[in-house]
Structure 1
Amino acid sequence: MKKMIAQTLSVASLLFMTLTQASYAADFTNYNVIDKDTRVRVENTTVKPYQAITFLTMAWDNDGAACTGSVIGPNKVLTAAHCVYDPKKGGLAKSTTLEPGLNAKYQPYSKFISTHVRVPQQYIEKQQSDYDIAIIDVQPSAGASIGKVVKPFELETANDFTGKDFEVAGYPSDKFKVFPGPTMWKDIGVVDRQEGNKAYYTADASHGQSGAPLFDKTTHKLFGVHTSYVKGKNTESNRGTTLTDEIYNWVKQNL
């Protein structure tokens, strides 16, 4: 069984927002993949479904962060709540920059901006991991909405995704210092178990991939977002928030 050890995201300065290779390298600590790292780079980010996966950079008054998101509507992007809400940084992110399909220095679909995000109240009040999901309201760029420039993900809902074959793709931070800009990487896996709104799996992912879509390998329907690494007494795994009836209804109400 593949397991991953993740370390804490270090403090980022607003210089992070310049999107230079140097700032990427400075803003994130390394992580280790136990056993073989099976992630593969997505070379063509302009084909479905990868075009709908977007690199995110969030800014607070004195801090910043990077994550991954997925376009799910004309002007809506799905990500993890902890990407856009952090009480230690002042609460909700002040602004978010979105670059769908970003491939190192190549920006195929321009850049979008957001100054408004939606986070479940359960996460805002107690940072409950069952509600680690968020929606970003995206402003049009050059008169075009983000969901018209790329094809949004379709959504899939269920209360138990155990046994589901899936793919996870996003922008891992350990690759920032290897390439001249953020690059997209993917891995495949199977949901090992479901607990509440959370799915557990051993597909490889790292910092920067928080908020990355979990989607069906065949239909490409999105059923969750990657959120974190967890270690139990005898097990290690990654996990994500899935579109159970409760979460799916919250998402639909906020589209």
Structure 2
Amino acid sequence: MTVVNMLNETITVPVPDDGRSYFAEESKSITDTEEHPALPHDSDTEFPNNGTPIEPRGIVGKDQRKKVVSPQIASQAHRSVVFLQLKIGDGYGSCSGGIAGPHLVFTAAHCLYNKDAPEKNRWAQDVKVIVGKEGDTQVRTCKIDRKRTVVPKAWYVDHNYDRDWAIIKHDCDLSMNFLGFNRRVITDKDFESGKYYAFISGYPRDKMIENANFFMYEEYGEIEKHPQSPLRFRYRISTDEGQSGSPIWFDGERGPVMIGIHSRGFMNQTEDKYNYGVRLGPGMLAVLHQFMNE
């Protein structure tokens, strides 16, 4: 797997033949017969969107996203979702991410790199990883390591949405209270044994209150295999700008299991109302494993 860091240096990481079994935490799948307990939430009141969008997102039918109360002391999964503040050109944007290790976060590649922007603005600047954000409060703010914050070369060169994932390394030690997600690789063959249901949890801009007071929201729904790509999921789970990079996860036997990264929503009203995510795969997990052991 070849990736490019924020210094525009290329890094190649070998992927073992048994990459799936070696790197993935195996947990039971979620089927349509299993129920998940309701999470605390309040109303779905719409707030004004005052931010600069990174990319459009899609609300599918009635907005079913629920607010997560006190994520900093909620479940392990919610403590493992982070808010990303990004300087993009002359303005600021935001994304979401999922903790993958004490110093590592998964997010979407398009949050960090845009090859079509002017050269000096292709990489996001002043990236901050904010843990436990709820409105104007947060637990920690972490600075990133630009040498070990990477996107796949396929995204860097072509903006290939099959590779719309990124790994961020930061300077905080989150090993004590923020355990992160277990991980599992889902293939098309796995869908033959049953349906998959999962949460998408992140920080949408359309729920933001003035002065950049963001709150975590999530929705639970069916995850389907993408009809054209074995590297992506599709789903009718509502998202909005700011939720790019959100973990796609379910509750496993040994804690929350991340299976993908939210990437994009339908772009206009003429498209089929599916949103899309990138599946975790052996390549990205090989990069993660190497960074963990450095």
Under a length normalisation based on structure 2, what TM-score does the superposition of the two structures give? Answer: 0.70
Please give the root-mean-square deviation of Cα atoms over the aligned residues, in Å: 2.7
Structure 2 counterpart of 1:152, one-letter code: G
Seen in structure 2, the aligned counterparts of structure 1 residues 147 and 63 have a Cα distance that, compared at 3 Å, is farther
**Per-residue deviation, 1:71:** 1.1
Aligned to 1:16: none
Task: Structure 2 unaligned segments of length 5 or more: list them.
Answer: 1-47
2:280 corresponds to 1:243 = yes
- Contact 1:76/1:147, CA 8 A, preserved across alignment: no
Between structure 1 and structure 2, the one with the greater Rg is 2
Q: Distance in 2 between matches of 1:231 and 1:57?
A: 23
Task: Structure 1 unaligned segments of length 5 or more: list them.
Answer: 1-22
Q: Secondary structure at the match of 2:162?
A: helix
Structure 2 counterpart of 1:136, one-letter code: I
Higher relative contact order (CA 8 A, sep 6+): 2
2:256 corresponds to 1:220 = yes
Structure 2 counterpart of 1:41, one-letter code: K
Seen in structure 2, the aligned counterparts of structure 1 residues 27 and 177 have a Cα distance that, compared at 3 Å, is farther
> 1:16-67, CA deviations, whole angstroms, 9 ceiling, x for partnerless residues?
xxxxxxx971434996734211000001202211111111011245343210
Q: Percent identity between the aligned chains?
A: 21
Q: Distance in 2 between matches of 1:221 and 1:176?
A: 27
Q: Secondary structure at the match of 2:266?
A: strand
- Contact 1:105/1:181, CA 8 A, preserved across alignment: yes
Q: Distance in 2 between matches of 1:180 and 1:247?
A: 31
- Contact 1:68/1:208, CA 8 A, preserved across alignment: yes
Q: Secondary structure at the match of 1:248?
A: helix
Structure 1 counterpart of 2:132, one-letter code: G
> 1:67-93, CA deviations, whole angstroms, 9 ceiling, x for partnerless residues?
001111111111000001112153222
- Report the count of equivalent residues: 229
2:70 corresponds to 1:44 = yes
Q: Secondary structure at the match of 2:183?
A: coil
2:266 corresponds to 1:230 = yes
Aligned to 2:237: 203
- Contact 2:202/2:217, CA 8 A, preserved across alignment: yes
- Contact 1:169/1:187, CA 8 A, preserved across alignment: yes
> 1:136-169, CA deviations, whole angstroms, 9 ceiling, x for partnerless residues?
11013xxxx1344411111111223642110010
Under a length normalisation based on structure 1, what TM-score does the superposition of the two structures give? Answer: 0.80
